[in-house]
Copies of this chain bind each other. A is one copy, B any other.
Amino acid sequence: MAGALQRLIKLLRQLPGIGEKTASRMALAILAAPDNYGRALAHGVSEVVERVHPCARCGNLTELEICGICGDSRRDPGLICVVEKVPDLMAIEASGEYQGLYHVLSGVLNPLNGTGPEQIRAAQLLGRLDSGVREVILATSSSVEGEATALYLKQHIEAQGITVSRIASGIPVGGELEYADQNTISRALAGRRTI
């Protein structure tokens, strides 16, 4: 096989969820597409790597100093939702339900691999909490590390007299109770509300 093709397949395989077959199908599709597609893709990759970086305030991805969400005056600056990573922020944005701001930690506390508060933009979060902030919603995952991170942040944020909340764990909408794992069922029961 052509060397350039093999090199591209090898590069594509390094992406998450892309195996040998998908990488080679992708490389062949790039080749089979009209010439300007390949050029646009190469340009698109370079552009992203050169221009996109974390927002100086919240850690979301942006091409500017401050991201579109932080810069949007219609969003509620009194509410900050803390997430582990950018895809989590994207998922919440896609729901269209949230009108506050975000803070992307870019990780979770994990003593085992040496990830402490300094590695996860925790100080930047605490530094953002001025008198205008009413509530911080902790949306880290329900893993051990996600819970530990939430607990750590809760202690430091409450010390500043700000309400701290945690997103609900429970049975997914449309999910079957029968197939839910034990932890999810315990959480769903513990988090029950009167109706």
Which residues of A are in contact with B by a Cβ distance under 8 Å? 1-5, 7-8, 11-12, 14-18, 22, 24-31, 33, 35, 37-49, 51-52, 61-63, 67-68, 86-87, 90, 93
Contacts and interface: CB of A to CB of B under 8 A. Distances in A.
Contacts of A31: 48-49, 52, 61
Contacts of A93: 1
Given A44-B8, A49-B42, A61 B2 contact: yes
Given A3-B63, A45-B42, A49-B30, A17 B25 contact: yes
Contact of A45 (B8, B49, B63): B8
A44 B2 contact: no
Given A2-B63, A15-B30, A37-B14, A7 B46 contact: no
A4 B39 contact: no
A46 B11 CA distance: 13
Contacts of A11: 37, 40-41, 44
Contacts of A40: 11
A2 B52 contact: yes
B52 A90 contact: no
A7 B90 contact: no
A87 B28 CA distance: 8
A95 B54 CA distance: 46
Given A2-B61, A5-B61, A14-B33, A38 B28 contact: no
Nearest to A85: B28
Nearest to A54: B31
B39 A46 contact: yes
Contact of A42 (B24, B29, B42): B42
A44 B31 CA distance: 11
